[in-house]
């Protein structure tokens, strides 16, 4: 007999006082992608949740090792810019 994984508990998030123009824009974007507004927003909040916060990103940058280059980075950037 196969054992199915336990179901994840879900909760509801409610956002109050969403301006009508914003609601229409979000609903339109969802429809253009063939999604319900709920599915569209679920995808977006997953994306937000997966991104590091500014402090997490700063900590990661500060903990990484310094990289030495033969050419100063400022010169590399200047060399890539159109004149």
Per-residue pLDDT reduced to its tens digit, 42-75: 999 999 999 999 999 999 999 999 888 999 999 9
- What the block records as the tokens of 1 is 């007999």
Label residues 32-51 b or e (16+ Cβ within 10 Å = b).
Answer: eeeeeeeebbeeeeeeeeee
- Summarised one tens digit per residue, pLDDT across range 6-52 is 778 889 999 999 999 999 999 999 999 999 999 999 999 999 999 99
Residues 69, 74, 75, 78, Cα dihedral to 10°: 140
pTM: 0.65
């Amino acid at each position: 007999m196969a054992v199915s994984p336990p179901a994840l508990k879900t909760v509801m998030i409610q956002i109050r006082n969403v301006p009508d123009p914003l609601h229409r824009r979000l609903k339109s974007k969802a429809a253009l992608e063939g999604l319900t507004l709920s599915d569209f927003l679920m995808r977006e909040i997953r994306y937000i949740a997966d991104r590091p916060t500014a402090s997490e990103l700063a900590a990661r940058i500060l903990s990484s090792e310094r990289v030495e280059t033969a050419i100063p980075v400022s010169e590399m950037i200047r060399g890539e810019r159109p004149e």
